[in-house]
Amino acid sequence: MNLHDINPHFITDTSGNKVSVVFSMDEYKTIMEELEELEDIISYDKSKLEDDGETILLSDYLKTRKKVNV
C-alpha cells in the first residue's frame, strides 16, 4: 500500500465541518512508515548541512559517550 491508496473517512460536525478522520490500520501503518522515512531524510539533510568535515574514530566517540552517561 502507498499513500495514493489511502481513502480517509471524515467525521463532520452538525455544520458539515470536518472535525476528525478515520483510517484503516493498514492505512495508518502506511502513513506512519512514510512519516518515519521523512523524519530520517530530514535528519540526514540536517546533519549534512551541519557537517564541518571534522571526524573522530567511533571508539573515541564511544569512550566520550560512556563518560557522559556514567
Quick: pLDDT tens for 27-68: 999 999 999 999 999 999 998 888 888 888 999 888 888 665
Structural domain boundaries enclosing 7: 3-69
Burial (CB count within 10 angstroms: exposed 0-12, middle 13-18, buried 19+), residue 27: middle
Domains: count for the chain: 1
Q: Write down the pLDDT at residue 20.
A: 98
Mean pLDDT of 6-26: 96
Q: Write down the pLDDT at residue 2.
A: 84
Q: Write down the pLDDT at residue 68.
A: 55
**Distant-in-sequence, close-in-space partners of 12: CB < 8 Å, separation ≥ 6:** 18, 19
Report yes or no on whether pTM surpasses 0.75: no
Give the separation between CA 61 and CA 10, rounded to whole angstroms.
Answer: 49
Q: Are 12 and 18 in contact (CB under 8 A)?
A: yes
Residue 16 has pLDDT above 90, yes or no: yes
